[in-house]
Amino acid sequence: MKQILRIAALAAAVWMLCVPAKASGGTSVSARRCIVMDAGSGEVLYEKNADERSLIASTTKIMTGWLACQLVNLDAEYEIPAEAVGIEGSSIYLRSGERLTGEDLLRGMLLHSGNDAATALAIAACGTEASFVEEMNLSAQDLGLRSTHFANPHGLDDAGNYSTARDLARLTAFALRDANFRAAVSAKTAVIGGNRALTNHNKLLWRVEGCIGVKTGYTQAAGRILVSAAERGGRTIIVVTIDDPDDWRDHERLYERFFRTED
């Protein structure tokens, strides 16, 4: 299975690295770093400091989610280990010994940004969090994400957990090809474990026509980070902003501009 993933990732990396960027004068965003990418062709429609490395907070969970979709049986139930309980930051308040399906954990992580759910998925996939992080970094290398490194599956601040706007867009374009990942990030609400009602943190699902996810992120050190994707007329555009105090409106404006450009 892992060898198949390596081959698929390598093919995607070659495609993404061969597409040139297109300049777009007159575009302005509040973000310190930003990129707008056509998910189908890989064409870059706009960029601003897109190769500047930074902390990425919970957008780390894009890689965790995609990799979990490959390595975890989403229909199977998993017992929550003690190591996944009480993780700081965003949480779905897992209890040691309770049982949830892989899909429940995936949605708990991608809708509600549960750091405990991310840890539980990592352990379910590879036995230990450390082994899963190794897989995250191997996958990043295979995808050609040269400015990306992971130190954990949830994105809590760590000097070894970083990426760029460009790499996050490339990762997202690849991850959206997986039907299970796509279904999770595009869900507005979910009920998991029979009694946990979740609402997706991504407000763009309600505010942007055709929005299909993907992931929010925030820590005080990283600032506000938002990775999103929207589809219109058979075309998918990905927007990434990092350290952006006005991210919701910036994404709305960028979609209106670049979808309108193609009309």
pLDDT tens digits along 149-172: 999 999 999 999 999 999 999 999
* CA trace torsion 161, 69, 99, 97 (10° rounding): -30
Residue 7: in which H helix or E strand, if any? helix 2-17
Total of domains in the chain: 1
Q: Is residue 58 flagged as an active site residue?
A: yes
Q: What is the pLDDT of residue 18?
A: 45
Tokens encoding 122: 């990592």
* CA trace torsion 142, 71, 100, 84 (10° rounding): -50
Distance CA 147, CA 213 (A): 23
Of 175, 198, 144, the residue nearest 59 (C-alpha)? 175
Q: Is residue 131 flagged as an active site residue?
A: no
Residue 133 sits in a domain whose CATH number is 3.40.710.10
Q: Which of 54, 58, 186, 228 is catalytic?
A: 58
Angle at 26 between CA 21 and CA 29, to 5 degrees: 85
Q: Is residue 24 flagged as an active site residue?
A: no
Distance CA 205, CA 214 (A): 9
Query: Measured in Å, how far apart are the chain's first and last C-alpha atoms?
Result: 41
Contact of 190 with 107, CB cutoff 8 Å: yes
Contact of 83 with 129, CB cutoff 8 Å: yes
Does the structure show a pLDDT above 70 at 117? yes
Which structural domain range is residue 34 located in? 2-261
Q: What percent of the chain has pLDDT over 90?
A: 87
Q: What is the pLDDT of residue 178?
A: 98
Average pLDDT over residues 213-223: 97
Q: Which of 54, 90, 113, 228 is catalytic?
A: 113
Of 177, 62, 179, 54, the residue nearest 110 (C-alpha)? 62
Average pLDDT over residues 38-52: 97
